[in-house]
Structure 1
């Protein structure tokens, strides 16, 4: 009985530890996922015009991080311009970022496309971001947004 209880306690501790974003300060030069070269990255503000001509494409962009999932570091919001943001998920949930990346400039390598995100998914991300119940319940319409699937991210500023 003691062994079963001890095993359960250790398992719960590991699950709780796995649900935290990675530790770290997200300093320039730190990288997550595949190590990528930062040269030749385009400004993220160019993406909306490029998506008018293609359904999706692989690219390397430079952008400022507006928000990061406080639960696990499993998604990011990037500033595209003053009125538009882009959402980033990590390919196959293969890596996560520390919350310290918020406010930093990154270079991201991956696929970009325009998608319509369903209400249930938007509400899930709002819960992750610790929004109030009123803010979550106010999400009633799907949202058309720029979505990246990142294979690698490097902090540059």
Structure 2
């Protein structure tokens, strides 16, 4: 009887592990990222109307290291090829900031690249370690020379999005 229970437990854990591994290997979600599409939580009409520019966000973050419950409008320049679990958004002065999805709870399609979006969530200025910078450079399929050129921590804006909506 004990052997039967043990075999049953191993079979269940193997099936669960196989499904998790398949999900982890899955790429970004499919989709065309059309105007009106949203990812994660729905971006409220109020947030969309009151969304600030990325330059305004930078100014707010100079006064306080963290800004909560903010909506920002910007253009997506890069999306994680592996899962769609992060992206970069370009500022008006052509700098970029990094966006992660809240609680790793949703992903975005590669088609979001080049689209204008409204992000709703929290932003902060953080110092990013060399290892973390290299990790994301590898995800972005940067060349080995670009990865090797990362040699010191860097301060940058990090945004944790609870919702993202594609806009004009």
Contact 2:60 2:67 in 1 (8 A): no
Tell me the residue number matched to 2:51. Answer: 41
Tell me the residue number matched to 1:27. Answer: 34
State the TM-score, normalized to the length of structure 2: 0.83
State the TM-score, normalized to the length of structure 1: 0.88
CA RMSD of aligned residues (A): 1.9
Tell me the residue number matched to 1:73. Answer: 84
- Point out the more displaced range, 117-126 or 78-87: 78-87
CA, structure 1 residues 83+30, in 2 after alignment: closer, same or farther (shift >3 Å)? closer
More helix by proportion, 1 or 2? 2
Give the number of equivalent residue pairs: 151
Q: Distance in 2 between matches of 1:17 and 1:30?
A: 24
| TM-fit CA distance, 1:13 | 9.4
Q: Report the 3-state secondary structure (helix = DSSP H, G, I; strand = E; otherwise coil) of the residue aligned with 1:52.
A: helix
- The correspondence of residues 8-157 of structure 1 with structure 2, limited to 5 A, is 11=18, 15=22, 18-37=25-44, 38-58=48-68, 59-157=70-168
| TM-fit CA distance, 1:81 | 2.5
Q: Distance in 1 between matches of 2:25 and 2:111?
A: 18
Structure 1, gaps ≥5 residues long: none
Q: Distance in 2 between matches of 1:81 and 1:144?
A: 18
Alpha-carbon displacement from aligned partner over 1:113-148 (angstroms, at most 9, x marks no partner): 100110000000011011111211111111110110
